[in-house]
Amino acid sequence: MRIITDLLFTDEQQDSILAQAREIASEENVHEPQAVRVFQEKGELCLQVLGQNPITRVRRITGYLSTTDRFNDAKLAELANRTPHMGQGSCSCDGELDAVDLLCKQKKTTDDLSQEEKQSVLADFSKAV
């Protein structure tokens, strides 16, 4: 585990920080702890343990649940031809986004969309309904 900070610490202090970070990681069930961010807030030293995201996106195509790396060509084609739906713009899956997801991810939120982009999304939604 590595320490991310702008503050200076001795080797002994760094060892103490890493020990506390391991304890925090086990108490808070941090998945695969990678680093500990150390910062000062209101005069106190704060530790934030950073880990990997344990969530894997699973797709459901014609009743089968799986990740896209296990799809055959037919399932991948079916995934590519799916109709985009509203309300899916918060996904963090790279390379698996439909048109609306991709547009919303690039803009961060639907509030950042231009009026023309909103019209396009609404038109796509109307076709699907």
No. of H helices and E strands in the chain? 4, 5
Residue 106: per-residue pLDDT: 59
- Name the one residue in this structure whose structure tokens are 């195509």: 61
Residue 12: per-residue pLDDT: 94
Residue 15: per-residue pLDDT: 92
pLDDT tier, 16 (very low <50, low <70, confident <90, very high otherwise):
very high
Residue 65: per-residue pLDDT: 78
Is the whole model's pTM more than 0.75, yes or no? no
Q: Is the pLDDT of residue 128 over 70?
A: no
Q: Is the pLDDT of residue 2 over 70?
A: yes
pLDDT tens digits for range 19-76: 999 999 888 888 888 899 999 888 888 998 988 777 777 777 777 777 877 778 887 8
Are 98 and 82 contacting, i.e. CB atoms less than 8 angstroms apart?
Answer: yes
What average pLDDT does this structure show over 104-123?
63
Provide the terminal-to-terminal Cα distance of the chain, rounded to the nearest Å: 50
pLDDT tens digits for range 84-101: 665 555 445 545 555 555
CA distance 99 to 105: 10
Are 76 and 64 contacting, i.e. CB atoms less than 8 angstroms apart?
Answer: no
